[in-house]
Amino acid sequence: LKTAIGKSHAKIIFFGEHSVVYGQPAICLPISKIQTKVTITKTNAPQTIQSRYFDGKLIDMPNNETGIQLLIKTILTELHQENVSFNIKIQSEIPSERGMGSSAATAVALIRALFHFFEQPLSHSELLRLADVSEQYIHGNPSGLDAATVSAKAPIWFIRGRRLQTVPITKNAFLVIADTGILGQTGLAVQHVKSQLASSTSAETAIERLGENAKSARECLTTGNFKKLGTLMNNSQNLLAKLGVSHPTLDLFAQLAITNGALGAKLTGGGMGGCLIALTQDKKTAQQVADILIKNGAVNTWIEPLKSPDHKG
């Protein structure tokens, strides 16, 4: 093809970050309105790439933490297309290192665009296998949750190594996503949890409880018990803070969200920065919470209806 496009979108982890690495279940939501797009155009020149980090020849790209260069190389080798000339343009609306899946979204959009460009079929499991090549770069032990959600259309129930399931949501509520503007540190956070597990049994208990919260949260989503869901979010936030992956700004935002009408709030993603999510019953309260967080330093907020894609209302 002369031009090919691949897309993906942001994600948030509702329940189960970190504990998912150790086999506990997680609930994750695709955020389809925040997108990443990769455009590949045939050229006569050497392979080039344009992104927010780099603009130049692919071979000159610093082997940065996203592992994008390695991913492209892997795909070209597997498809026997090492010498093809093209330009890869990566455009992303997802802020990077905020726990919203920007690196996985880039990988997924890129894989889709390359397979489209070479007119090759791509199964979902193949897509996830390849996304893992660059995700490995970030912390060496990715659960696969990020790549699964940035390529999903509906909320998912994820257990490492198992088949994905969707989570039906029967009633409507709202989530406020607030970006602290502080770079999250997924690699460091995953490493920190690993060392906590090696040295304390309370870390092990925290991981188990985070998994139990994900299980109870799934029930709440099916029954529409948002009050309990909020309590489970607060409890998960406390457990994640105990594991050492929160941040004073995330703790402050969680407190502010709750005192301003949210049913619950917690960090989302790797933590140590990044985003907070807060649950509200209605849109007006969501706006109120978003406004308060902006006043207190959030660099951006998004209000997302919490619902299954086919849900009306």
Q: What is the footprint of ligand MEV within residues 234-273 (CB under 6 A)?
A: 269-270
If binding is defined by CB under 6 A, does position 109 make contact with ligand MEV? no
Measured between alpha carbons, how far is residue 303 from residues 96, 287, 296, 306 in Å? 19, 7, 17, 9
If binding is defined by CB under 6 A, does position 30 make contact with ligand MEV? no
* From 7, 15, 146, 147, residue interacting with ligand MEV (rule: CB under 6 A): 146
* From 48, 103, 185, 186, residue interacting with ligand MEV (rule: CB under 6 A): 186
Of 104, 172, 100, 171, the residue nearest 143 (C-alpha): 104
If binding is defined by CB under 6 A, does position 94 make contact with ligand MEV? no
User: Is 134 within 8 Å of 71 (Cβ atoms)?
Assistant: yes
If binding is defined by CB under 6 A, does position 274 make contact with ligand MEV? no
Tokens of 111: 């894989």
Binding mask 46-85 for ligand MEV (x = CB under 6 A): ----------------------------------------
Q: Give the interface segment with ligand MEV, choosing from 12-20, 29-37, 226-234, 303-311 (CB under 6 A).
A: 12-20
d(CA 307, CA 221): 9
Pairing of strands 48-50, 86-92: parallel
Helix (H, G, I), strand (E, B) or coil at 137: helix
Helix (H, G, I), strand (E, B) or coil at 219: helix
* From 190, 217, 241, 257, residue interacting with ligand MEV (rule: CB under 6 A): 190
Beta carbon nearer to ligand MEV, 104 or 263: 104
If binding is defined by CB under 6 A, does position 37 make contact with ligand MEV? no
- Residues 6 or more apart from 2 whose CB is under 8 A from it? 41, 42
* Residue nearest ligand MEV, CB atom distance: 143
Q: Give the interface segment with ligand MEV, choosing from 137-145, 169-177, 194-202, 279-287 (CB under 6 A).
A: 137-145
Q: How many CA atoms lie within 13 A of 226 on its CB side?
A: 18
* From 145, 243, 257, 293, residue interacting with ligand MEV (rule: CB under 6 A): 145
Q: How far is the CB of 190 from ligand MEV (least distance, A)?
A: 5
User: Is 277 within 8 Å of 217 (Cβ atoms)?
Assistant: no
Q: How many CA atoms lie within 13 A of 285 on its CB side?
A: 18
By rule CB under 6 A, what count of residues binds ligand MEV? Answer: 14
Which residue's structure tokens are 């990443």?
36
Interface positions with ligand MEV (CB under 6 A): 13, 17-18, 20-21, 99, 142-143, 145-146, 186, 190, 269-270
